[in-house]
Structure 1
Amino acid sequence: MFRTALRNVLAHKARLLMTTLAVMLGVAFVAGTLVFTATLSEAFARSSAKGFEAVDVAVRPDFSSDETDPGGPSDLPRELLERTRELPGVEHATGAVSGFAALAGKDGRLVGEGWSTQGGNYDTGPDGSGEDPRYDLREGRAPQRAGEIALDSATAGRTGYGVGDTVRLSVSGPVREEKVTGVFDTDDGNVAAGGTLVLFDTATAQELFSQPGMYSEIVLTASEGVGQGELRKSVEKILPEQAEAVTGQTLADDQARMIEAEMEGMRTGLLVFAGISLFVGVFIIANTFTMLVAQRTKELALLRAVGASRRQVTRSVLVEAVVVGAVAAGIGLLAGIGIGAGLRSLMGSLGATVPDGPLVVTPAAVVASLVVGIAVTVAAAWLPARRAAKVPPVAAMNSVHAPATVRGLVVRNTIGAVLAGAGAVLVLAATGMDDGKVPMGAGAGLLVIGVFVLTPLLSRPVIALASPVMRVAGVSGKLARLNAVRNPRRTAATAAALMIGLTLITGLTVIASSVQKGVDKMATEALKADYVVSMANYRPLSPEIERTLAEQDEVTALSPMRNSLSRIGDEYEFLTGVNGEGFGKLAELDFTEGSFAGLGGESVIVDADTARGHGWKTGSTFEVVYEDGERGELTVGGVYRDNEMMTGIMLDTAVLDPHLEKVTSMQVLVATEGGASESAKSALEDALGNNPAVLVQDEEDVSESVAQMITLMLNMLYGLLAMAVVVAVLGVVNTLAMSVFERSQEIGMLRAIGLDRRGTKRMVRLESLVISLFGGVLGVGLGVFFGWAAGELISASLPTYELVLPWERMGVFLALAALVGVLAALWPARRAARMDMLESIKTE
């Protein structure tokens, strides 16, 4: 039986080719994902480890302490740095200061990855003449005073800046012009990932990123023979409260874990799409083996007649599946390794910098690829294998095995109806839950499976709707429609593969279009301001930005929006500082109690959820602990319904600012004379020095920035889902090729009684078109339903969410399904048309 199984595989190489391709694509996606993410993780981990080679112990503020004030622990004082330098076992102690610094290229645009554009200090030691062991100067000298900087060599190479050049940069808003005095090498992981690092002298860095005499971190290098653990214990003896000492090895391990966690999200997302491709491939595999079993009815019956047991017949079919799965998995693994290498190169070509390192093929990737390929193929072939075992020996006397019984169809339809009904009920119930993501996901899965099981039942009435159109094609159209419903199970399996891909694509498109509409509506309803000014990476803005804008003649109203963490009772709440006098002219809020008149002095306005949680109403008073530890008492002057742009406790900046360690704003709302216009926007940008790190956005810009993110995300998802569509195309080709082979005698007879080659091609093409459109209609319908249901969950957090049905795109998706049908039919139709009539008629 084993030899028989191998012989059958070799005898049906062409028929199994599409199955092999379907499995191979899915496995290649899995292997490519695992290789790509493992390679990135290893490269970044190695780069990060290099960055900690000069760090034996790091002293830093302890943010994990439960006793910290809302503002968090303070930076480290110079006195602590001096004390660590005197400790036995310390070879070198360096005070580090760091923060955000946006560098403009020669074209005026932001250089680097935005959030990875960092600034720091070059520490020249206690006497000012030493070298900083963290950075190796390769050109020029270290910055020594305000107005001087040093650039990392990677950034210098990308931008073309060199020693002596003057560059434009921004730290928290205002544009600064600095002279490059040196270029240095660094193993910093952010730089390796495509970011930038700008170094200032220590005094300037403290002024920009901290406070005079304060450090973000103290880095210690141990003397020869002193271990990291030993040095850490020595340092802990002199540490103040809310400070901690961490070994360099711990920092490297933490960084490696963080990188691994970041890769995990990417890996999971890519594997989900690989799983979708494999799930779609299951239908093709099951379809192929079902048709192979049906075509070998006499052969299987003869095996039973000469003594083969049911178990042996089942095993022979499963052995074929194992062989096919193993071959496909092996090819898929090799293709996946190539995909992993290609994705890494693609990232480089798109401008993302990846640290150097080898291509990593882990044992887990190899085992997972082989197991997935073989397991999916065997699982898909199991039902056809069981069906093969049920072929009675007497079937050897006939050329056709008994068709499916009415009882079998009733059972199938009943199971399908129960699954689809349960899935639909679960999805509908989830729309009314606070957190219904898991129930909705489970319901969606049940509904898709239920519809798949019911597809043979649905195929006849749905395909019958195409009859009027098919009549236009004459005899070929009528024959194509009849052929499409002749074997409903095969049609269902073929259409289901396409249905799943289009369900996901349509659902995602409906959600994205609706979210975009909600964002547009939110920007229109929540803002009266003409412009929102913010940092490009959404870091805090310098108060100088606010002052500069206030001085402009065209500005008629202005309000910052500052964020500050406070403690109210046992809970932490964010306070939002605004201009109490002019905020009502810049924002639109729906008040349930009070109005903007309640905002000013010690009187605040609060969103309804926060007020409900604390039991507040207009006139309620409460005690607050500000971020500097000072206490105060505030009064609720109004309660409003929150939205995505406005939420929390809002109070006048005159009350909040004295309690802030550093006065910054997340945004500045601006109204201009005559409203938003290109001239007003240009005037504001010019006033801010055409800063590459600062965004000046009107309502349309806010909406477009969200639209760009949504479009980018959708395009990525479309690209990933294209794999499932490719697999679905293979399924249609496979089904048609098998169908043409099975109907060889019939096609020969049709040719003999007058159907010409063109009519034969048209018949096969129309059959493919009908099956593909059937899958497309089901997919678009399910996608719209799932898009609506998911939108009900989203609307809880985005009140302005509004369902949008993108008719044009859905029409494109149906056209895509039709195109799939046309392309998939090219080879089978050509093969059918070129059959020899006499040879076909003689075929059994």
Structure 2
Amino acid sequence: MFRTALRNVLAHKARLLMTVLAVLLGVAFVSGTLVFTNTISDAFQKSSAQGFEHVDVAVQPKKGDDAAPGAAPALSQDLLDQAGSVPGAASATGSVSGFAALAGKDGKLIGEGWSTTGANYYGENDSRYPMKDGRAPSGKGEIALDAKTAERAGFKVGDTVRMSIDGPVLTPKVTGIFTTDDGNVAAGGSLALFDTETAQALYGKPGEFSEIDVRAAPGTSQAELKAEIEKVLPKNGTAEATTGAELADEQAKQIESGMSGMQTGMLAFAGISLFVGIFIIANTFTMLVAQRTKELALMRAVGASRRQVTRSVLIEAFVVGAVAAVVGLAAGVGIGAGLRSLMGSFGGTVPDGPLVVSPSTVIASLVVGIVVTMLAAWLPGRRAAKIPPVAAMNSVHATATTKSLVVRNTIGALLSGAGIAAVLAGTQMGDDGKLPMGLGAALLLIGVFVLTPLLSRPVIAAAAPVLRLFGVSGKLARQNSVRNPRRTAATASALMIGLTLITGMTVIAGSVQKSIDKMATDSLKADYVVSMQNFNTLSPDVEKKLADLDGVTATSPLRNSPARIDGEKDYAYLTGVDAQTIGSLASLDFEQGSWGGLGGGKVVVDSDTAQRYGWKAGSDFRVTYEDGEKGTLRVAGVYQGNEMMRGILLDKDQLAPHQREITDMQVMVKTADGATPAAKDSIRAALGDNPAIAVEDKQDISNGIAQMFTLMLNMLYGLLAMAVIVAVLGVINTLAMSVFERSQEIGMLRAIGLDRKGIKRMVRMESLVISLFGGVLGIGLGVFFGWAAGELIGSSLATYELVLPWGRMGVFLALAAVVGVLAALWPARRAARLNMLAAIKAE
């Protein structure tokens, strides 16, 4: 049986090519994803480990359970001196770091925003940052830049750069270029160094550090040094010591965790590709088995058991899967290398390192390719083994019995009904409805797939009036497309799954975008909102500059401060605003009270907070501010919160005395002439054309919030492209097998007068009908899932409303039609070139 299976594989090389391609694509995406993410992760982890080569023990502030958010105590100069003098310590270095936005010569922000960092150069010849050119910075008007940033931006010693820490523009001079193993720099970020006093003034307080790094003397282990340092740590437990190895391991885990999201998303693409590929593989083996009915029956007649017949089909699948898996693995290694190069072309920098092809990647690729192929081939093989030998040798094919169709349709109807019920139930459960909705969506998708043979007849019948316009070819195409509904359904399902996902996400993204536009329009009276690009805090000087600017009629900052409400252990946030101007900058729907009551110990709160604490207009509550002082506030109004503004709002002048450091999250600005390009340019100019500061109007805010949906959609469009490639292979495969099966029929049609153009038209129309059938099902399911998910979103987003993107759905349907036309090119040409006499004589 093994030799027979191998002979069958070699005898049907051309027919199995599509199957190999389908499996190969799926395996290539899986292995390529694993190679790419493992390579990037390994490079960052090695770079991270190099960054801790100069650290044997690090002393860091320890946040207590009762500490306010962001209020970790700093490390003193005395602790630094003590740590450097313990037995086994060779040297100790104090570090201060924070955000530092650096502008390139084109005025744009360098690096990735969040990874643009500033730190201190500690003392003479700081071993962490060897100087490549120039000297160390000295004084607040000087900085040193990392070599990679200097090279990318074209800076050299002596240049003046523009940068910002919390809003105001600084123009220091570059005095040195240094090298570093910092992982953020290797990933495309930037690092600017100040002298220690300047860094402390910018990021903390004079004489204080955010970390102390200690080098061990020769012969002293990190564990021994850590034990000695722990003896000099403050007794109140405000600082802790960690070895360099522990820090490297922790950062490696963070890198691995960060890469897992990318890996999961890319593997989801590969999974969809494989899932769609299963239908193609199953189709191929079903048709191959059907064509070998007599051969298999003869094997049964001469003594082969059902198990042996099934096993022979599985052996064929194993050989095909193994070949596809090996080739797919090789292709995946190429994809991984290509993705790494592509990442660099988009501006992302990856640390140097080898391409990582781990044993787990090889095993996963082989298992995925072989297992998927064998699973897809098992059912056709089992079905072939059940065909009675006498019936098979008489060409009485085992068509689906009425009983089997009834069972299949019943199961499909039950699954679909359960799925619809679960989805509808989930829409009524708010945030708790995610799990039942996800389960219902899976059940409905499977149920519709099971029902597709039943659905194919009425849906394709609806196209009959259009197909009649193409005469005999159109009529024959309709009949051929429903002749084997199971095969048609399995082929159409490839497109159905891809279009379901993309249509659903497009509906959700469009609806959310519209709701955000409405929210920004309804809740903001301000013309502009000013904030940091990386969502860090702004200096209060920014608001003062804007308030004094000609053409600006009103400004208000939003200042967050942690506080305890009514003695609770957990912290809530108070938001300081300008009580005099906020009413002209923000429009909120008040259930009780109004902006007029704000100020003098009175606050306004959103309805969720009021409901949580049982407050209403006139309620008093106790508050413990971040500086530890206690006070009493009164609720003057209750409003409906939204994504733009929520929580407890009070006058900034009442909040300021209790803040350890006054900073703004954002500043709202209203101008006399409204939101105009000239007004935006004026505000930017007043802030020194600072690349770290974003000046956004309502549309900019809406686009920014909706950006993650756009990114997700673009990823899904990539997924659709993969699904389309696999679907094209599936349709080609189905049509090629169909043409082979109908050779006699096609020969007879040619003999009675249907010309080659008519044959081509018939095959193309059949392909078009199958593809549009899958497209219609996918778009219909996608709209339903998009509506259901929108009901969940609407429970937390008051302005949500369903938007159906008719234009894009039309494009998706046209794409399905294009798939059908392209997939039919080769089978149609092959059908038209059949020799009519040879085809008629063929068995």
Give, in whole Å, the separation in 2 of the partners of 1:446 and 1:647.
38
Could you say which residue in structure 1 is the equivalent of 2:209? 215
Q: Which runs of structure 2 are paired with 1:145-160 in the superposition (5 Å)?
A: 145-160=139-154
Aligned amino acid, residue 593 of structure 1: Q
Give, in whole Å, the separation in 2 of the partners of 1:639 and 1:80.
49
Q: Give the drift of 1:707.
A: 4.6
Contact in 1 for aligned 2:498/2:719 (Cα 8 Å): no
Could you say which residue in structure 1 is the equivalent of 2:503? 506
User: Secondary structure at the residue paired with 1:114?
Assistant: coil
Deviations 1:707-764 (A, max 9, x none): 5543333222211331112111110000000000000000000000000000000000
Aligned amino acid, residue 719 of structure 1: G
Q: Give the drift of 1:419.
A: 0.6
- Which of 521, 540, 544 aligns to 1:543? It is 540
Aligned amino acid, residue 140 of structure 2: A
Contact in 2 for aligned 1:68/1:242 (Cα 8 Å): no
User: Secondary structure at the residue paired with 1:829?
Assistant: helix
Q: Which runs of structure 2 are paired with 1:646-665 in the superposition (5 Å)?
A: 646-665=645-664
User: Secondary structure at the residue paired with 2:176?
Assistant: strand
Give, in whole Å, the separation in 1 of the partners of 2:180 and 2:201.
23
TM-score, structure 1 normalization: 0.98
1:73 aligns with 2:72: yes
Could you say which residue in structure 2 is the equivalent of 1:792? 791
Contact in 1 for aligned 2:500/2:778 (Cα 8 Å): yes
Aligned amino acid, residue 335 of structure 1: A
Give, in whole Å, the separation in 2 of the partners of 1:721 and 1:662.
50
1:674 aligns with 2:668: no
Aligned amino acid, residue 445 of structure 2: V
Contact in 1 for aligned 2:68/2:562 (Cα 8 Å): no
User: Secondary structure at the residue paired with 1:811?
Assistant: helix
Contact in 2 for aligned 1:51/1:189 (Cα 8 Å): yes
- Which of 444, 454, 459 aligns to 1:457? It is 454
Could you say which residue in structure 1 is the equivalent of 2:479? 482
Give, in whole Å, the separation in 2 of the partners of 1:132 and 1:501.
56
User: Secondary structure at the residue paired with 2:162?
Assistant: strand
Could you say which residue in structure 1 is the equivalent of 2:338? 342
Aligned amino acid, residue 704 of structure 2: S
User: Secondary structure at the residue paired with 1:34?
Assistant: helix
Deviations 1:143-194 (A, max 9, x none): 1111000000000000111110001001100111110000000000110000
Could you say which residue in structure 1 is the equivalent of 2:778? 779
Could you say which residue in structure 2 is the equivalent of 1:326? 322
Aligned amino acid, residue 73 of structure 2: S
Structure 1, 704-713 or 172-181: larger mean CA deviation: 704-713
Aligned amino acid, residue 693 of structure 1: A
Q: Give the drift of 1:623.
A: 1.8
- Which of 232, 235, 255 aligns to 2:229? It is 235
Could you say which residue in structure 2 is the equivalent of 1:406? 402
Deviations 1:214-265 (A, max 9, x none): 1111111111111111111111122123211111111000000000001111
User: Secondary structure at the residue paired with 1:588?
Assistant: coil
Gaps of 5+ in 1: 125-129
Contact in 2 for aligned 1:524/1:699 (Cα 8 Å): yes
Q: Which runs of structure 2 are paired with 1:281-300 in the superposition (5 Å)?
A: 281-300=277-296
Q: Give the drift of 1:400.
A: 3.3
Deviations 1:105-141 (A, max 9, x none): 00010011100000011111xxxxx221211011111
Give, in whole Å, the separation in 1 of the partners of 2:393 and 2:239.
88
Aligned amino acid, residue 517 of structure 1: K
1:105 aligns with 2:68: no
Contact in 1 for aligned 2:553/2:671 (Cα 8 Å): yes
Deviations 1:793-826 (A, max 9, x none): 1222322221111001000000000000000000
1:822 aligns with 2:816: no
1:559 aligns with 2:553: no
Could you say which residue in structure 1 is the equivalent of 2:808? 809
User: Secondary structure at the residue paired with 2:564?
Assistant: strand
Could you say which residue in structure 1 is the equivalent of 2:569? 570
Q: Which runs of structure 2 are paired with 1:514-663 in the superposition (5 Å)?
A: 514-568=511-565, 569-663=568-662
Contact in 2 for aligned 1:415/1:450 (Cα 8 Å): yes
Could you say which residue in structure 1 is the equivalent of 2:714? 715
User: Secondary structure at the residue paired with 1:107?
Assistant: coil
Gaps of 5+ in 2: none
1:426 aligns with 2:422: yes
Could you say which residue in structure 1 is the equivalent of 2:27? 27
Deviations 1:638-695 (A, max 9, x none): 1111100101111111121122222111110011112211221111111111111111
User: Secondary structure at the residue paired with 2:170?
Assistant: strand
User: Secondary structure at the residue paired with 1:823?
Assistant: helix
Contact in 2 for aligned 1:624/1:633 (Cα 8 Å): yes
Give, in whole Å, the separation in 2 of the partners of 1:397 and 1:168.
85
Give the aligned CA root-mean-square deviation in angstroms. 1.1
Could you say which residue in structure 1 is the equivalent of 2:731? 732
Query: Structure 1 residues 838, 103: CA separation in 2 closer, same or farther (over 3 Å shift)?
Result: same
Give, in whole Å, the separation in 2 of the partners of 1:792 and 1:443.
15
Could you say which residue in structure 2 is the equivalent of 1:133? 127
Give, in whole Å, the separation in 1 of the partners of 2:614 and 2:69.
22
Could you say which residue in structure 1 is the equivalent of 2:51? 51
User: Secondary structure at the residue paired with 2:112?
Assistant: coil
Matched residue count: 838
1:165 aligns with 2:159: yes
Could you say which residue in structure 2 is the equivalent of 1:189? 183
Aligned amino acid, residue 11 of structure 1: A
Could you say which residue in structure 2 is the equivalent of 1:383? 379
Aligned amino acid, residue 214 of structure 1: E
Aligned amino acid, residue 140 of structure 1: G
Deviations 1:462-502 (A, max 9, x none): 00111111111111011001101111111101111111111
Q: Give the drift of 1:435.
A: 2.5
Deviations 1:41-94 (A, max 9, x none): 10000001000000011111113x213234532211222112222222211111
Could you say which residue in structure 1 is the equivalent of 2:39? 39
Structure 1, 729-738 or 381-390: larger mean CA deviation: 381-390
Could you say which residue in structure 1 is the equivalent of 2:747? 748
Give, in whole Å, the separation in 2 of the partners of 1:366 and 1:567.
54
Give, in whole Å, the separation in 1 of the partners of 2:132 and 2:517.
50
Contact in 2 for aligned 1:297/1:395 (Cα 8 Å): no
Could you say which residue in structure 2 is the equivalent of 1:437? 434
User: Secondary structure at the residue paired with 2:181?
Assistant: coil
Aligned amino acid, residue 285 of structure 1: I
TM-score, structure 2 normalization: 0.98
Q: Give the drift of 1:274.
A: 0.9
Contact in 2 for aligned 1:71/1:627 (Cα 8 Å): no
Give, in whole Å, the separation in 1 of the partners of 2:127 and 2:253.
26
Contact in 1 for aligned 2:503/2:809 (Cα 8 Å): yes
Q: Give the drift of 1:394.
A: 0.6
Give, in whole Å, the separation in 1 of the partners of 2:302 and 2:831.
36
Give, in whole Å, the separation in 2 of the partners of 1:679 and 1:30.
51
Structure 1, 800-809 or 816-825: larger mean CA deviation: 800-809
Query: Structure 1 residues 70, 748: CA separation in 2 closer, same or farther (over 3 Å shift)?
Result: closer
Give, in whole Å, the separation in 2 of the partners of 1:307 and 1:177.
90
Contact in 1 for aligned 2:293/2:393 (Cα 8 Å): no
1:468 aligns with 2:462: no
Could you say which residue in structure 1 is the equivalent of 2:260? 264
